[in-house]
Amino acid sequence: MKVVITSSSQTLADPIDMHFGRAKFFILADTETGRATAHDNAQNLHAAQGAGIQSAETVAKLGAEAVITGSVGPKAFRALQAAGIQIALVEAPCPGTEALRRFKDGELPVLDSPNSEGHWV
Amino acid sequence: MSSFPSIAIASGKGGTGKTTVAVHLAAWLAGRGEAVQYLDCDVEEPNGHLFLKPVIETAEPAAIPVPVVDNDRCTACGKCAAACEFNAVAMLKKPMVFTELCHGCGACTLVCPVEAIREEPRGIGTVETGQAGPIRFAQGRLNVGEPMSPPLIRAVKNRRDPAAIALFDSPPGTSCPVIAAVRAADFIVLVTEPSPFGLHDLTLAVETFRPMDLPFGVVVNRADPADLRVQDFCRQQEIPVLAELPDDRRVAETYARGELLFDRLPEWRDRMAELWARIEERL
């Protein structure tokens, strides 16, 4: 299964980024092979508006079936739902490797509604 | 230039006295027998009506065109999402439109190779027109929670009467709504106050309006003889100071009651006369 982890750096050893839309990096990890690749999200990080929507598009294009993050706004939530991507939540920053392990063990709650307010310019 | 100029009353900082200047200028011009129209372009919080007390004669909805995708026709090529400057279209399995982010520019409709996108109006507010004694009146009211004000501001300005001096009471700040309000005006009056915030935001406003190549001047409201930083800044920048309106508690009291100042403070007629003379010589 392909999973995206929102990350503060290009490596899973570092803490995850708690924000979905304006995460610094998306790390695409394969839960079977353990292979992971980092994808820069600078373009959306600096977007005036619609960062979450475009981030959802990026995650969908990467072919992920789930995303592990800390918070998801209302529009990103709608976009991820439309793309059929599951959202798993960590409640506090932890290394990406730990978040991935807990996800595989089924310890992370699945988000069924947005847990963050939208941001207006 | 036509014999009926348009003047935008703007400011970097909110609460400096734009509406005070705009409604008194309107009332003074009307009192002199001029054809004048007051247009409240501060559509998020139009308040000129509190002082001019117009009789509203027309109210029409304002809308922007937003895309609707025909998923049967759509080939999921993604060109619409790529064309959107405002991230209002996401390419997922099919395009997904976030109408609240859409500026109604029409780019997605234009680039769609299979004509799968049509446009539907989305209401953003109301444009009202009427009459306040001899003053022609127009204002926009943005729907509560609606972030997209520039199209409504343009709709208000479309009600401009070409046979009257137009006063555009602009929103504060330096962002898109302000640009929409001051664009195509013949002159901009920047109202500021002698506070560090007033000066700071005046600096931003000057940086915004200079590249637009529109003539502007400054009105110092609540002027304080002990604080001349705004005047010094204007001298350095070669910006004309059109008027200095002294700080006076009676102005605040009268304003808070929603009344014009002329009855209680007749000297405000002279101040508006002087202000208009300074504007007129620059048109």
User: What pTM did the predictor assign?
Assistant: 0.84
- In chain B, residues with a C-beta closer than 8 Å to the C-beta of A57 are 81, 90-92
Cα of A107 vs its chain's centroid, Å = 16
Q: By the CB < 8 Å criterion, does B250 face chain A?
A: no
- In chain A, residues with a C-beta closer than 8 Å to the C-beta of B173 are none
Contact B40, B49 (CB under 8 A): yes
Q: By the CB < 8 Å criterion, does A62 face chain B?
A: no
Q: By the CB < 8 Å criterion, does A57 face chain B?
A: yes
Contact B27, B100 (CB under 8 A): no
Please identify among residues 11-30 of chain A the ones whose CB lies closer than 8 Å to any CB of chain B. Answer: none
What element of type H or E holds A64?
Answer: none
DSSP letter for A19, please: B
For A63-109, what is each residue's pLDDT tens digit? 999 999 999 999 999 999 999 999 999 999 999 999 999 999 999 99
Q: Which residues have a Cβ under 8 Å from the Cβ of A111 and sit 6 or more positions away? A: A72, A77, A87, A88, A89
pLDDT tens digit at each of 283 positions of chain B: 458 999 999 999 999 999 999 999 999 999 999 999 999 999 999 999 999 999 999 999 999 999 999 999 999 999 999 999 999 999 998 999 999 899 999 999 999 999 999 999 999 999 999 999 999 999 999 999 898 999 999 999 999 999 999 999 999 999 999 999 999 999 999 999 999 999 999 999 999 999 999 999 999 999 999 999 999 999 999 999 999 999 999 999 999 999 999 999 999 999 999 999 999 999 9
Contact A34, A98 (CB under 8 A): no
How long is chain A? 121
Distance CA A14, CA A24 (A): 12
For A15-63, what is each residue's pLDDT tens digit? 999 999 999 999 999 999 989 999 999 888 888 888 999 999 999 999 9
Q: By the CB < 8 Å criterion, does B88 face chain A?
A: yes
Q: By the CB < 8 Å criterion, does A46 face chain B?
A: no
Q: By the CB < 8 Å criterion, does B96 face chain A?
A: yes
- In chain A, residues with a C-beta closer than 8 Å to the C-beta of B142 are none
Could you tell me if the ipTM is greater than 0.85?
no
Q: By the CB < 8 Å criterion, does B83 face chain A?
A: no
Distance CA B212, CA B174 (A): 12
- In chain A, residues with a C-beta closer than 8 Å to the C-beta of B97 are none
Please identify among residues 70-109 of chain A the ones whose CB lies closer than 8 Å to any CB of chain B. Answer: 75, 78-79, 82-84
Amino acid type, B156: V
Name residue, tokens 């479309």.
B158
